[in-house]
Chain A
Amino acid sequence: MTQLSNTATWTQRPLVRMAQRIGFEPANVDYFVEKLNPVWSLLNLRATVVNVREETHDTKSFELQPNMHWQGISAGQHVGVNVEINGVTHKRRYSLSRAEAVNADESKTIQITVKRVEGGLVSNHLHDHIQAGDVIGLEAADGDFVLPAELPNSLLVLTAGSGITPVFSQVATLLNEGYQGSIEFLHYVRSPADRIFGEQLEALAQQYSNLSVQWCFEAAEGQSKPERFSAKQLAKRVADYQERNAMLCGPAGFMEAVREHWADIGRSDALAFEYFGAPPVDATDAIDANITLKTGKQIQLNAGETLLDSLLENGPNLTADELPKYGCKRGVCHECKCRKTSGAVKNLLTGKVTAGEEDIQLCISAPVSDVTLG
């Protein structure tokens, strides 16, 4: 589990490898390099925070200047952010939240947008403690929620809450690149004050006639009851929605409802989606299960918990060998990947139940039988 970035391949050059065989240690040199300037590194991807801006009362954007190891990102992808809180490194992934895709050009900055989550360790830390000038750890861009090479004729965009961030950068990129098809952008949000990118999106709609933006509020002045997603509501807003290719991003409950409807109308293949946060364990098939660890130790898992939650809860009783490595806790970074030798688990992202020997991500796996980890 080294943090070697793809551009640190210089350590793999024949001469450098030979030097390493007789004792040259890049990490030792790197230790002193980062003492000169914390963002400098011969091995690791990091970024300086160059600007922090308030988007709404509970949302901030962070403009980041990555170091030499940055290899670029496409709109809709996410980057890993590592911050240390009380001695523990926490990893989260955030979508790029600005119009253009960013290549490996060092002079360019990237931007992430973070909503303060009640009780959320990392989002609150970023909001309360990270300022311009700070250095944070980054992990390379990843994610397959990117625009297809062949673009559909018309698009429907459905987002809710902070699910708007990855989609906003994709739509902006599309329009900047001259996309001519019609885009209907529906954003479901608590109130006008909670709109992230509200102004920017309105400005885009002014600039490009093929973009139409509609806000669906839980509550707003002059609105008698909340407007939530339903087939009827959507048909009222966008009459031809069934003919459009759709992009979907938002909290789990919202996404489940939309996906169910798209399945009902037989258009699942025309729906691209990305979860924001791990979807909840479905209580109907969640069970109390016995988990056997590779050392033979057994722990009890309560229905509704993921394997990772349960292992971490049992942390004080586990040895270093039994404690899992982990990162994002939402199925993205694969740090907690682990061998399951027997038993069946439900993948909370895909809903698929699999059994037998396989690698699973602990943070998005809920057991549907007793499970043995190897």
Chain B
Amino acid sequence: MTKVLTVEQANAFGAELDAVREQQMNNLGERDAKHIRRMIKIQKSLALAGRLLLWFGFMPPMFVVTWPLGVLCLGIAKIMENMEIGHNVMHGQYDWMNDPKLNSQTYDWDTVSDSDGWRYTHNYEHHTYTNIIGKDRDVGYGVLRVSKDQPWEPHHLLNPVSNVLLAAGFDAGVGLHDVQVDEFLKGKVSAKRSWEALKRFARKATRLWGKDYVLFPLLSGPNFLGVIAGNFAANMIRNVWSNMIIMCGHFPGEAQTYEYDESVLETETRGQWYVRQMNGSANIEGGKVFHILSGHLSHQIEHHLFPDVPAHRYPDMAPAVREICEKYGQHYETGPFLKQYGSFLGKIFKYALPTRKQQLAAA
């Protein structure tokens, strides 16, 4: 169990983490620029290779090789763009480069989620109110029940089914996140706000689904069905993979959720914010390629502590962070992919049913 820190202890904990951050920020430079450009090069090359394989691979004997290969290339390209490039650039990790192509405020990522809406719900809401139930809408994404602190509702009985549907349609799920249908139905957000968000989603979806399911199939001529199916499969690979990685970010093991208390939040110090970020996040262990394919969200703890430090530096920072956590008696939640995802899946089944205390209260 993680130790509860006093304000003074939390502030000292925060000061040590600030020092870790500053050490990295002081030597941003060539190395980071090279990394992100190399990622972009690999991603664009894979995307081009994938599209070409799907376009031209319509000869029957080749089809069995080119189609799956094309799907794999395109799927990995989409994963890299969304996670290692898009997500991280939009956090402002590369703003210091002063490169308009890598500017957090203007970057538009390659998924149906509108970038402006994402910057608001993700960079602001999720990263500020991380794991606070009722405030961070990423807790269960308005669909799943992942913590005993979330009030049980009858639709949570379908938790395992909802989880599969959310994974398959994850791009649309993230895209519609900012429309806040659930909050609108509860009367918490205005119809106008939801409608505006829906319009932005529709414009972006027309563009991206138009590319995958109209423009490129038409350009490929006789092979248009193969291209449609290939693009669909690549999107599906991206959806399921990114969903699985992201579900491992805040829900496995001992990662904590918090009750919303405005007065506590108002007086929260930077040190206490660090403590909350730390205890609400979970890492996944893996090699270099795995970290890149997860957009370094496998270092979710470091990401939540330092969201605007270039993500490829998280593995270098992790040992120091872990040491500081041990010193202050803070649990550092980490484990291999299957263990972390298994832990999340266990909660999906467990919290499909009401928790005992609530059952009693209901009775």
Interface residues of A (CB under 8 A from B): 1-3, 19-24, 27-28, 31-32, 84, 86-91, 315-316, 319-321, 323, 325-327
Q: Whole-angstrom distance between the alpha carbons of A9 and B33 in the complex?
A: 29
- B28 contacts chain A at the CB level, 8 A cutoff: yes
Say which residue of A28, A88, A316 sits within 8 Å of B98 (CB atoms).
Answer: A88
Taking CB atoms, residues of chain A closer than 8 Å to B106 are 1-2
- Contact call B30/A23, Cβ cutoff below 8 A: no
> Which residues on the B side are within 8 Å of A23 (C-beta)?
207-208, 210-212, 214-216
A22: contacting residue among B99, B104, B210, B308, CB under 8 A: B210
Closest chain-B Cβ to A33's Cβ sits at a distance in Å of: 12
8 contacts between A and B (CB under 8 A): A19-B215, A23-B210, A86-B30, A87-B32, A87-B33, A87-B97, A316-B25, A327-B98
**Which residues of chain A are within 8 angstroms of B210 by Cβ–Cβ distance?**
21-23
How far, in Å, is A121 (CB) from chain B's closest CB?
A: 12
Cα separation A24 to B206 with both chains bound (whole Å): 11
Q: Cβ of B123: which chain A residues have Cβ within 8 Å of it?
A: 321
B30 touches A87 (CB 8 A): yes
Nearest B residue to A24 via CB reads: B215
Whether a CB of chain A sits under 8 angstroms from the CB of B187 is no
**Chain B residue with the shortest CB-CB distance to A23:** B211
- Distance A22 CA – B97 CA, assembled complex (angstroms): 31
Whole-angstrom distance from the CB of A80 to the nearest CB of chain B?
13
Given the known interface contacts A316-B26, A320-B91, A325-B103, the answer about A88 and B211 at a Cβ–Cβ threshold of 8 Å is no
Which residue of B is nearest A90, CB measured? B98
Instruction: Count chain B residues whose beta carbon lies closer than 8 angstroms to a beta carbon of A.
Output: 39
Write the chain A residue with the least CB distance to B22: A316
Bound CA–CA A168/B156 (angstroms): 77
- Residue ID in chain B nearest A335 by CB atoms: B98
CB neighbours (8 Å) of B215 from chain A are 19, 22-24
B207–A88 CB distance below 8 A:
no
Let me know if B96 and A315 touch, CB within 8 A. Answer: yes
Beyond the given pairs A22-B211, A316-B21, 18 more chain A to chain B contacts, judged by CB atoms under 8 angstroms and listed by A's residue number, are: A1-B103, A2-B100, A23-B210, A23-B214, A23-B215, A24-B211, A27-B101, A86-B33, A87-B28, A88-B96, A89-B97, A89-B98, A89-B99, A91-B98, A316-B22, A323-B95, A323-B96, A326-B98
- Enumerate chain B residues within 8 angstroms of A2, measured Cβ to Cβ: 100, 106
Given contacts A316-B22, A320-B91, contact A325 B98 (CB under 8 A): yes
A2: nearest chain-B partner, CB-CB:
B100
Q: Report B34 CB to chain A, min CB distance, Å.
A: 8
CA distance A326 to B40 in the complex (A): 24
Question: Which 3 pairs from chain A and chain B are nearest by CB?
Answer: A320-B92, A23-B211, A22-B210
Docked-complex contact A87 and B207, CB < 8 angstroms: no
Complexed CA–CA distance, A90 and B97 (Å): 9
Q: How far is the CB of B214 from chain A (nearest CB, A)?
A: 6
Complex-state Cα separation, A27 to B95, whole angstroms: 19
- Asked whether B44 is an interface residue with its Cβ less than 8 Å from the other chain, the reply is yes
Expressed in whole angstroms, the Cα–Cα distance for A2 and B106 within the complex equals: 8
The residues of A that contact B42 with a CB separation of less than 8 Å are: none
* Distance A321 CA – B93 CA, assembled complex (angstroms): 11
Query: How many Å from the CB of B166 to the closest CB on chain A?
Result: 25
